[in-house]
Structures are given as C-alpha cells and as structure tokens.
Amino acid sequence: MDLGLAGKAAIVTGASRGIGRAIAAGLAHEGVDVLAVARSEAPLRALAEEVGRAGNRRLVPAIADLREAEGVARAVAAAEREFGRLDILVNNAGTTKRGDVFALAEADWQEGFALKFFGYVRLTRAAWPLLRHSRGSVVNIIGIGGRTPGAEFAIGGSVNAGLLAFTKTMAEIGIKDGVRVNAINPGAIETDRLKPRLERYAAEKRIPLETARQLLPQEMGVSRFGRAEEIADAVAFLISPRADYIQGALIDIDGGATRTL
C-alpha cells in the first residue's frame, strides 16, 4: 500500500535503538528523508549505512542531547539545513526509572522529566513553524503507563500522563495551524528495554529466560509481546494522508493490556 509519504522529511528522536530505530528505518523505507536523532553516534551511523544499502531515502544521523534547549535547536536546524523542509516529527526519546516512589531520588525524577517530557515539549515548539508551513504531522510515542500508572512506575506514569495532555493541547492548536498531532501508547514491546524486566521475572520465578518470555505476557493479560515494527507501521499510517481526519488520538498498541476507557 502506497501511503503517499515519498519525498517527505522527518525528525525521529531516540532513533539509535528499539522503537525509534524501527520508526526511522520504516519511514525511510516509505521514501521519507529522516533526521535520526540520539545521543549515541555509533548506532545511528550503523542505521544510516543500513538504509543506504537498501537504496531508500536519506537517513542523516544527528547527535543531540534533547534535555538541553541547545540540542533541540540544533536538531531542528539540521533538518531544515539537510532537507529544506520538515513534514513529520516523531517524539520518541526518553526513559524513566522504575522503583519504589519513596526510594527514587530527586535526580531520578528530574531526569525522567528532563528528557522525555520537556524534550517532547521543546522539540514540538521548536519544530512547529516548519510543520505549520508544510501542514505536517506530529506523533508522540508515550506509553500505556500514562493511562494506567502503577506503584513501580511512578515517574513514567506521571511523565506519560503529562504528555497525553500535551498531545491533546497541541492537537487543538494544530486544528487552526494545519498540523496533525496524535500519540501512540506502546505496551510491552520486545526491545532491549524489556530485557532487564524479563531477567528479573525469570530470576524471581527461577525459570529459564525463554520460559519467562512465554509466561510474562500471560501474567500481563496479553497473548505476546509487541514488536517495534508494529509501532513503526502505525506511525507511518498516522502521518499519511490516509489518516487525515485523525487528530488528537491517543492510540493504545498493547495487545489489549489497557482495559480502562
């Protein structure tokens, strides 16, 4: 299916691994020029070489720390310099620390909000003039913890809930400015980030890792873990003309784990 994305230009953050990497590669496959942003250079270079070998569009690595306003400005300037336009922004960078709410340090809270919450906010604001000019699209990769927070996910749940609200705010502004803004809430996606959780579960149950990979989804109430490529496919659809009437949507891709309205 041709999604009509060829020739567009995108920024994808957190593109060095996991979901972000899959999104950057998926958009390049659809004919999008991608500025792939992360703090780690080597994985971005490897991704750029992989995309180049496939003969698709350009994927340009951009090293930036999105916790800082300077890093955000540098990423937007790089996209405009490299592509002369910006049609798509995928905010994906950021992790938050799990743990007992009373044991988590002040620095853990600061770090959780600095990269993910404020990184998304700063980058959206900085990219908005270019997106308004192109009548582009924003997709925020957030997480189901924003809808259903838990005791061990206090920071992440708080950050994600704030970003869900921010998505709705920018979607309302986007109606007037011609920018579509939506969010995807991934559930348990089998990336490197899931590995420590699997290992802890296997250790607690005293079972092999492969057995844990089968049992943990059942305990979570889903049939399996998700794949990063499934999130990438959803992003490609959301930014395409086929989703032109979707605005302010908060889409859970979690295998049915979220059962609240």
Backbone angles phi, psi at 96, to 5 degrees: -130, 150
* Average pLDDT score over residue span 34-44: 95
Residue-level pLDDT at 56: 63
* Average pLDDT score over residue span 100-113: 92
More confident site: 97 or 57:
97
What's the CA dihedral at 94, 109, 181, 249 to 10 degrees? 100
Residue-level pLDDT at 94: 83
* Average pLDDT score over residue span 154-163: 94
**Residue 35: in which H helix or E strand, if any?**
strand 33-38
Closest CA to 25 of 39, 41, 46: 46
Average pLDDT score over the chain: 94
Residue-level pLDDT at 47: 94
Q: Model confidence over 72-106: pLDDT tens digits?
A: 999 999 999 999 999 999 999 888 888 889 999 99
**Percent of the chain residues topping a pLDDT of 90:** 85
Judged by average pLDDT, the poorest of 72-76, 140-144, 202-206 is: 202-206
Q: Which residues, at least 6 apart from 49, have a Cβ–Cβ distance to it below 8 Å?
A: none
* Average pLDDT score over residue span 111-138: 96
| pLDDT at position 55 over 80 | no
Q: Would you give the distance in Å from CA 56 to the centre of its chain?
A: 22
Q: Which residue has the tokens 């943990």?
A: 216
* The model's pTM: 0.95
Closest CA to 12 of 181, 180, 208, 235: 235
Judged by average pLDDT, the poorest of 94-108, 180-194, 226-240 is: 94-108
Q: Residue 52 carries which side chain, given as an amino acid letter? A: G
> Under DSSP, is residue 238 helix (H, G, I), strand (E, B) or coil?
helix
Q: Residue 5 class from Cβ within 10 Å (0-12 exposed, 13-18 middle, 19+ buried)?
A: buried
| pLDDT at position 57 over 80 | no
In sequence order, the β-bridge partners of residue 140 are 91, 183
Angle, helices 69-83 vs 118-134, to 10°: value is 30
Residue-level pLDDT at 62: 96
Residue-level pLDDT at 52: 87
| pLDDT at position 165 over 90 | yes
Domains of the chain: 9-189+229-253 (3.40.50.720), 190-225 (no CATH)
Tell me how far apart the alpha carbons of residues 66 and 245 are, in angstroms, rounded to a whole number: 30
